């Protein structure tokens, strides 16, 4: 394969980081950036010394054999922009959520299949080293049978988000990760939502997901004044706590004792053997982008299957 060429379309909250990562990587070439805001497009074009565009169709006219397009435009435009690049035989890394409805999401996947190109949706937490370490603990049986999971993704309202709600912006991460950790999809879904500080879209809510042998609770909002990104997992042999931001993973090994004879022994029941799991820290977005580049270069499969993407989206749209 010739040198991989890349363009970033949409230079907002996530797109600007896509451009930064591509510019730092070797063996690929960031050839163009695009944003509907001419000032922003020119700013990033000058920053990375590449041509800038305000129209993605003009970008393709200038680079008709573009290898990869990272599409990070507002969700309302995902289908229109992604399908255009897919029909141009360009592989697409599309920011999550894939779309705002199931029909649109399916059309995007159909376009990728019809044109024999790859599409990967940016569920970036899949590439968080701490998540991968937690998945290993679970798969090795270190936690025993999983009983419950609690995920919290809260913080103040992001000014860049205006076209989606808290479920499609935040909860979709946690639904995807819980499905990934358990290796299955929920059989029952319960949802609560509120418009606490806005009349336009839901900015607060909870999901309760029932799986075959486990349950999960997901809390998301743009109300809590501190930013928290965490998940905890309870199993019959242990308990794990993960912080997505610091990439810390703590494992508490269960001390099983059916009876205690003294108060001191009773206190010991709450003092599980605790271990901080070593994590080789890395930027999840860079790992995600590198993974997609390798899939394109080697004609391999992307790690997040269509069925998984559609399931997470359907749950958050419920």
The whole-number average pLDDT for the span 272-279 is 90
pLDDT digit string, tens, across residues 81-125? 999 999 999 999 999 999 999 999 999 999 999 999 999 999 999
pLDDT digit string, tens, across residues 305-314? 999 999 999 9
pLDDT digit string, tens, across residues 280-306? 999 999 999 999 999 999 999 999 999
Model-wide pTM > 0.85:
yes
Task: Give how far Cα 194 sits from Cα of 13, 77, 169, 198, Å.
Answer: 24, 26, 15, 9
For the chain, residues classed under CATH 3.30.360.10 are 126-282
User: Is residue 159 pLDDT above 60, yes or no?
Assistant: no
> What local confidence, expressed as pLDDT, does residue 2 receive?
77
Q: What are phi and psi of 275, to 5 degrees?
A: -140, 130
- CATH no., domain 4-122: 3.40.50.720
pLDDT digit string, tens, across residues 216-270? 999 999 999 999 999 999 999 999 999 999 999 999 998 765 566 777 776 666 6
Distance of alpha carbon 248 from alpha carbon 134, whole angstroms:
10
For the chain, residues classed under CATH 3.40.50.720 are 4-122
Which of 169 and 269 is assigned the larger pLDDT?
169
The secondary structure of 137-201, three-state, reads HHHCCCCCCEEEEEEEEECCCCCCCCCCCHHHHHHHHHHHHHHHHHCCCCCEEEEEEECCCCCCC
Q: Which CATH class is domain 126-282?
A: alpha beta
Beta strands in 211-300 (DSSP E): 215-221, 228-235, 238-243, 248-253, 273-276
User: Is residue 10 pLDDT above 90, yes or no?
Assistant: yes
């Amino acid at each position: 394969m010739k040198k991989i060429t890349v363009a970033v379309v949409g230079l907002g909250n996530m797109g600007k980081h896509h451009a930064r990562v591509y510019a730092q990587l070797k063996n690929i070439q960031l050839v163009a950036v695009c944003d509907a805001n001419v000032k922003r497009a020119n700013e990033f074009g000058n920053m990375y010394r590449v041509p800038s565009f305000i129209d993605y169709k003009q970008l393709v006219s200038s680079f008709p054999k573009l290898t990869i397009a990272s599409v990070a435009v507002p969700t309302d435009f995902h289908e229109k922009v992604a399908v255009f690049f897919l029909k141009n035989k360009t592989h697409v890394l599309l920011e999550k959520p894939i779309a705002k409805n199931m029909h649109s999401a399916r059309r995007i996947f159909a376009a990728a299949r019809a044109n024999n190109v790859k599409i990967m949706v940016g569920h970036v937490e899949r590439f968080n080293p701490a998540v991968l370490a937690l998945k290993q603990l679970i798969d090795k049986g270190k936690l025993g049978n999983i009983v419950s999971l609690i995920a919290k993704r809260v913080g103040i309202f992001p000014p860049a988000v205006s076209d989606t709600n808290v479920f499609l912006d935040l909860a979709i991460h946690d639904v995807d990760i819980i499905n990934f950790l358990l290796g299955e999809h929920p059989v029952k879904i319960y949802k609560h939502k509120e418009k606490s500080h806005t009349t336009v879209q839901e900015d607060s809510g909870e999901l309760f997901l029932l799986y075959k042998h486990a349950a999960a609770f997901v809390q998301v909002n743009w109300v809590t004044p501190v930013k928290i990104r965490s998940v905890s997992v309870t199993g019959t042999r242990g308990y794990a706590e993960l912080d997505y931001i610091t990439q810390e993973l703590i494992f508490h090994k269960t001390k099983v004792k059916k009876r205690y004879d003294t108060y001191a022994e009773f206190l010991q029941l709450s003092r599980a053997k605790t271990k901080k799991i070593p994590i080789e820290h890395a930027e999840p977005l860079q790992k995600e982008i590198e993974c997609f580049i390798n899939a394109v270069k080697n004609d391999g499969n992307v790690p997040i299957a269509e069925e998984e993407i559609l399931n997470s989206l359907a749950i958050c749209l419920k």
